[in-house]
A and B are shown apart, each in its own frame.
Chain A
Amino acid sequence: MAGKVERPLSPHLQVYRPQMTSVMSILHRATGFALAVGTVMVVWLLLAAASGPTAFATFTWFCNTLIGKLMLLGWSVALFYHLSNGVRHLIWDTGRMLEINQAYRAGYFVLASTVILTLLTWWFSCPYKGGIE
């Protein structure tokens, strides 16, 4: 029955010019997925902590490598973007802010909030030494 008919699938992304609204929409999905993959790091952290000092040292060693630091930076940006834009989503779900100009304004707000929260996080994590610097 179903599945036999080859119906076209929408949306046909390639025929659209990227706009701020569409790019921010796909970024929500991309960051959500990246965060989901990133949960593996949280699992590693907790499992290492439960296993003992040696395993924990391996974890902090990895976080201090260049790749580790880039991952942490990427994770924080992704989290703050997804969180800020998630709030925009939740507001939309109540039927508010759906006008184009409001969506754009809220979009700029999301971008600003992402940058500010990320900078604050890294600013405050700097003075604390001994592990991830």
Chain B
Amino acid sequence: MSEKGTESIQSPLGKVKGLGAAHNGVTHWWHQRITAITNIPLMLWLVWSVVHIPAWTHQEFVIWLEQPVNSILMILSILSVFYHAALGCQVIVEDYFHVEWMKITKLIGIKLFFFALTVTCIFSVLKISFGV
């Protein structure tokens, strides 16, 4: 921090060197790839299951979802896909929005949005699988 009259002769680059990245780019990139890979089997399972449910009635759907394997795979799908989607939407916003406050608002909005959706979905699955 430099007060008036006491500015250092250090260049802006020199000041930030060694402080590390401001954000968490590499982690973000890795998490996008890891969830991309986990999404593949999970989405194939989901489509396969949706196609094979005998009839689209409440009863049949609950019978299918309340089986532990299906409940667990559904929860894993929700976590994997929603996290992947939140990370992906973040990249899109970072690419197209360059006004700082707009960008920040949208980034926070995305996080809260997907967090709320995740909680809603997991609660719903648990409610069905515990049969309350």
Contacts and interface: CB of A to CB of B under 8 A. Distances in A.
B33, B51, B85, B127: which has the most chain A beta carbons within 10 Å? B51
Interface residues of B, number: 41
B36 to A, nearest CB: 5
A3 to B, nearest CB: 6
B109 to A, nearest CB: 13
Nearest to A46: B124
Contacts of A130: 54-57, 60
A16 to B, nearest CB: 16
Identify whether the interface residues of B are mostly helix, strand, loop, or mixed: helix
B79 to A, nearest CB: 12
Contacts of B55: 128-131
A33 B124 CA distance: 24
A49 B120 contact: no
A92 to B, nearest CB: 11
Contacts of A93: 33
Nearest to B62: A49
Given A39-B82, A43-B120, A79-B47, A128 B52 contact: yes
Interface residues of A, number: 38
A60 B128 contact: no
Contacts of A9: 98
A121 B47 contact: yes
Contacts of B85: 32, 35-36, 39
A23 to B, nearest CB: 17
Nearest to B117: A43
Interface stretch (A51-59, A95-103, A105-113): A51-59
A124 B86 CA distance: 31
Interface of A: 1, 3, 9, 29, 32-33, 35-36, 39-40, 42-43, 46-47, 49-50, 52-53, 56-57, 60, 63, 76, 79, 83, 86-87, 89-90, 93, 121, 124-125, 128-132
Interface of B: 12, 33, 36-37, 39-40, 43-44, 47, 50-62, 65, 74, 78, 81-82, 85, 88-89, 92, 98, 100, 117, 120-121, 123-125, 127-128
